[in-house]
Amino acid sequence: MKVFVTGGTGYIGSHTVVELIENGYEVVILDNFSNSKPEVLDYIYKITGVKPKFYEGDCCDKEILRKIFKENEIDSVIHFAGFKAVGESVQVPLKYYRNNLVSTISLCEVMNEFNCKNIVFSSSATVYGDPKELPLKEQMELGKTTNPYGTTKAYIERILSDLSFSDKEWKVILLRYFNPVGAHSSGLIGENPNGTPNNLMPYIMKVAIGELPYLNIFGDDYDTKDGTGVRDYIHVVDLAKGHLKALEHLEDVEGVKIYNLGTGVGYSVLEMVKTFEEVNNVKVPYKIAPRREGDVASCYADSSLALKELGWKAKLGLEEMVSSSYKFILGQKK
């Protein structure tokens, strides 16, 4: 089975490529390195012993997409390529709408041309907006998105749903990720954003290695167990395995299926900091700062549908999330 992975050298994409190769899939990657580095391909080879076929280019460009489909008999597509920085999307919304929407539309048009109509898409818990009820379930009405990035995810969900409604041959799985963290056990691939990180775990990692002086905890007056924000952190390797389960079940899908990929357990920011310190025996200094605009108090998944229908469940706990993150960032420092 040949799988085309857009954005396959990125954080979640690279972990998924490793799982795919280790499970006997043939992988073809397209990435333009707008948020990843070519070295990731060497690391994938080091981990798996296989060099996946790679194309450097833009997923908005239908010519390169056609070339890929011509040169490879693709069975299914996993579409990771897109921009994901929430704050930046507020500053430069058109950049986000163009890249995330145009890449998806171009991809689907070319898939249609080549009669490949199986797609797994990276959506996000962000489409639920401010949760009215927890845990979040797939059939809940979607909330108002709070930033252009989130809106692109909601639009793409809609585009893919309309497409599958118009043509029953399309089989679509939308995976709504919660908060992916952690790294591969090899320590070779993980998340190391350029510049100052926006997300909690990469920030903690940089504080732990002394690259940043302290963590700002955005608010300690939420209605949560200790006043700090609660999220459903999921190990990226578990998340990657969720994509394999989705691929296995894609053939049975009629139209669109949506699955939450989370653990169902919410941890607070303080719990994350304390666990990181204890497990890795390192200090993570922090200060309490004002709330960050757009943040919700708590967000966690009901992932029972993925268990029931895909046979998928997250297995790795918080200890593995924080230890693999630390191992990865120490390796990056060398």
Q: Is 300 in the site for ligand UFG (CB under 6 A)?
A: no
271-293 per-residue burial string, b: 16 or more CB within 10 A, e: under 16: bbbebbbebbebebebeeeeeee
Least spacing, CB of residue 79 vs ligand UFG, in Å = 16
Please count the residues of the chain.
334
Binding map of ligand NAD across residues 165-204, x = CB under 6 A, - = no contact? ------------x--x------------------------
Least spacing, CB of residue 130 vs ligand NAD, in Å = 17
Q: Is 84 in the site for ligand NAD (CB under 6 A)?
A: yes
Q: Is 217 in the site for ligand UFG (CB under 6 A)?
A: yes
The 8-class DSSP code of residue 127 comes to G
CA distances from 129 to 273, 277, 307 (A): 25, 31, 24
Residues 263, 246: Cα–Cα separation, whole Å: 17
Strands (E), 125-190: 171-177, 179-181
Q: Which amino acid is at 197?
A: P
Residues 226, 190: Cα–Cα separation, whole Å: 29
Task: For residue 219, give both structure tokens.
Answer: 């608010």
Q: Which amino acid is at 244?
A: L
* Cα 106-112-113 angle, rounded to 5 deg: 90
Q: Residue holding tokens 């954080």?
A: 11
Query: Which SS3 state, helix, strand or coil, does residue 109 take?
Result: helix
Residue 325, contacted partner among ligand UFG, ligand NAD, none, CB below 5-8 A by kind:
none
**Nearer to ligand NAD by C-beta: 288 or 302?**
302
Q: Is 32 in the site for ligand NAD (CB under 6 A)?
A: yes
Task: Tell me if the bond preceding 290 is cis, omega within 30° of 0.
Answer: no
CB 255, CB 182: distance < 8 Å: no
List 11, 149, 233, 326, catalytic entry: 149
| Binding piece for ligand UFG, criterion CB under 6 A, among 5-13, 137-145, 198-206, 323-331 | 198-206
Q: Is 126 in the site for ligand UFG (CB under 6 A)?
A: yes
**Nearer to ligand UFG by C-beta: 52 or 266?**
266
Residue 217, contacted partner among ligand UFG, ligand NAD, none, CB below 5-8 A by kind:
ligand UFG
* Residues touching ligand NAD, count (CB under 6 A): 26
Q: Is 235 in the site for ligand NAD (CB under 6 A)?
A: no
Return phi, psi of residue 127, to 5°: -70, -15
CB 244, CB 5: distance < 8 Å: no
Residue 257, contacted partner among ligand UFG, ligand NAD, none, CB below 5-8 A by kind:
none
Q: Which of positions 6-25 make contact with ligand NAD (CB under 6 A)?
A: 7, 9-13
11 as an active site residue: the answer is: no
Q: Is 224 in the site for ligand UFG (CB under 6 A)?
A: no
- For binding to ligand UFG (CB under 6 A), which residues are involved? 84, 86, 124-126, 178-179, 198-200, 203, 215-218, 229, 231, 269, 292, 295, 299
Residues tagged active-site: 149
Positions that interact with ligand NAD (CB under 6 A): 7, 9-13, 30-36, 58-60, 80-82, 84, 99, 103, 122, 124, 177, 180
